């Protein structure tokens, strides 16, 4: 049984989907820790309801990134974490965590990387009027959305007229693709 830490800053719908899928496949892995830089976020409310171990921090309370990442590291060690899953975590992972968990950190991004890296990938796709976009799961490296690609799924948006419709479809794909990719990775 592998131990997963989910890092998130937002609404936590991916966290919920991953947790649910892993509960069904309960022999493979378990989300044992939720880490957030936003103590008041919805993801933390969900994590509390599900009785998860939680570590929240406010970056302003620390001298620098490596200082707060060292606090995260002690939690990761305490819970014997095998895989870090970023799910809407709005901070760049620094070398303090990367050096210890290289190739053990994955992220989901709402575009077909290498297109539309960074903030508001869906907005960037709409702006470019692309007809096909999608979702990518990738390893995390020193860059922003630059790590090796693990899985991708396309989405034809040529007939979708509003941003809301596109977001809904992207989330639908994410909630299936992320758990299935995690399970495949851990079964390897």
- Which residues in this chain contact ligand GRF in the complex, by CB under 6 A? 8, 10-14, 87-88, 108-110, 174
Active-site amino acid positions: 109
Instruction: Write down the least CB distance from residue 39 to ligand GRF, Å.
Output: 15
Nearest residue to ligand GRF by CB is 88
For β-strands 83-86 and 149-156, DSSP reports them as: unpaired
Instruction: Write down the least CB distance from residue 77 to ligand GRF, Å.
Output: 25
Strand partners, 156: 132
Residue 40 has what DSSP assignment?
A: T
The nearer residue to ligand GRF, 13 or 180, going by C-beta atoms, is 13
Helix 13-24 × helix 42-49 angle, to 10°:
30
Q: Which residues contact 152 (CB under 8 A, 6 or more apart)?
A: 112, 113, 134, 135, 136, 137
Instruction: Write down the least CB distance from residue 108 to ligand GRF, Å.
Output: 5
The nearer residue to ligand GRF, 77 or 148, going by C-beta atoms, is 148
The nearer residue to ligand GRF, 88 or 179, going by C-beta atoms, is 88
């Amino acid at each position: 049984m592998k131990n997963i830490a989910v890092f998130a800053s937002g609404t936590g719908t991916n966290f919920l989907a991953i947790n649910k899928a892993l509960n069904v496949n309960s022999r493979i892995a378990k989300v044992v820790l939720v880490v957030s830089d936003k103590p008041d976020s919805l993801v933390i409310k969900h994590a509390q309801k599900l009785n998860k171990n939680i570590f929240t921090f406010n970056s302003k309370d620390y001298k620098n990134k490596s200082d707060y990442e060292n606090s995260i590291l002690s939690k990761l060690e305490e819970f014997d974490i095998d895989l870090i899953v970023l799910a809407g975590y709005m901070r760049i992972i620094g070398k303090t965590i990367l050096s210890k968990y290289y190739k053990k950190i994955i992220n989901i991004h709402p575009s077909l990387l290498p297109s539309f890296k960074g903030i508001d990938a869906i907005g960037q796709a709409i702006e470019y009027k692309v007809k096909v976009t999608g979702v990518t799961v990738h390893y995390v490296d020193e860059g922003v959305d630059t790590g090796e690609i693990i899985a991708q799924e396309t989405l034809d948006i040529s007939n979708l007229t509003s941003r809301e419709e596109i977001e809904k479809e992207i989330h639908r794909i994410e909630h299936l693709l992320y758990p299935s990719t995690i399970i495949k990775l851990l079964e390897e």
